[in-house]
Amino acid sequence: MKKPLEQMPPSEILALMDTADERALLAVRGARRAIAGAAEAAARAIGSGGRLIYVGAGTSGRLGVLDASECPPTFSAAPGQVIGIIAGGTRALTEAVEGAEDDEAAGKRAIARIKATKKDVVIGITASGTTPYVLAALAEADRRGAETWIIICNPLSLNPSPAKGRGKSSGASACLPSPCHGRGAGKRVILLDTGPEVIRGSSRLAAGTATKLALNRITTAAFIMLGKVYGELMVDVMPTNKKLVKRAVDIISAVTGCDTGKAEDYLKKSGMRPKTACVMVARGVSKAEAERLLKAGKGFLRRALEG
């Protein structure tokens, strides 16, 4: 018989958590096809002037806001290209806002406020698959023509034919059952079947880990497809502090083979845009010409260097 959690030493508690987090990674691997589909959709949306919009409550909402907030410094994403919406607003980032996740009207208003359109991709994040705020937001996004996805960790929220037990899932797209069935039934589903939590119902644990991994993959793959990296280098990094300035200089040196001093000089000449600086150094051109070459290459550094 398993020992109660409160009677376990820390090492045994952590061993249980390790096992749960291993399931989280397996769940993300199992959903690779669906996650790739969401990344492609996000890249299409952003590349055509639309947005990637996350909607969630509690831990799910915070993870969406976190991922969205990291896109500008990592990929020089323009303000508003990736948006995180959380039930309860900014206050909910640091404290629980009672009843916020149950407020369907607020979910609907949040999508109306940002004026979602058919150019956008809206991804609802709800471990249970039943959060009213998120489902209402997705229904409103559907109504406005946006492409909608939902990330869930509970396979019982899916609606294939009823089956005994938890059933099997490949992480592929599916329809949603009651209470969500019929409300945005066109949503594409990313199922992260992480199983029961070490502390039942605490979705900040394995479900939260799997969700963070999935969001990392969606935006990283999307921005790679949009030309924001060169090899494994973060060439569109926004050098907003000393650490990132050094990283930008190192990237310019690595791409062009120039010394640190020249890289620093051209980073300044480029207006602190590492990708532009790389083209200026490698092609021996002005900032304006480097920007023209990058535009012609649709933002891909490799095309600007080789074209």
Q: How far is it, in rounded angstroms, from Cα 38 to Cα 219? A: 9
Q: Which of 101, 147, 197, 264 is catalytic?
A: 101
Query: Which of 31, 57, 36, 50 lies closest to 191, judged by CA?
Result: 31
Catalytic-residue membership of 70: yes
Residues 88 and 57 sit within 8 Å (Cβ to Cβ): yes
What's the token pair of residue 244? 């990132």
CA 210 from centroid of its chain's CA atoms? 12
Q: What is the dihedral of CA 237, 83, 157, 91, to 10 degrees?
A: 110
- How many CA atoms within 13 Å lie on the side-chain side of 269? 21
**Which phi and psi angles does 191 have, rounded to 5°?**
-95, 120
Catalytic-residue membership of 12: no
Q: Which of 12, 70, 104, 306 is catalytic?
A: 70
Residues 169 and 153 sit within 8 Å (Cβ to Cβ): no
Residues 275 and 294 sit within 8 Å (Cβ to Cβ): yes
The set of catalytic residues is: 70, 101
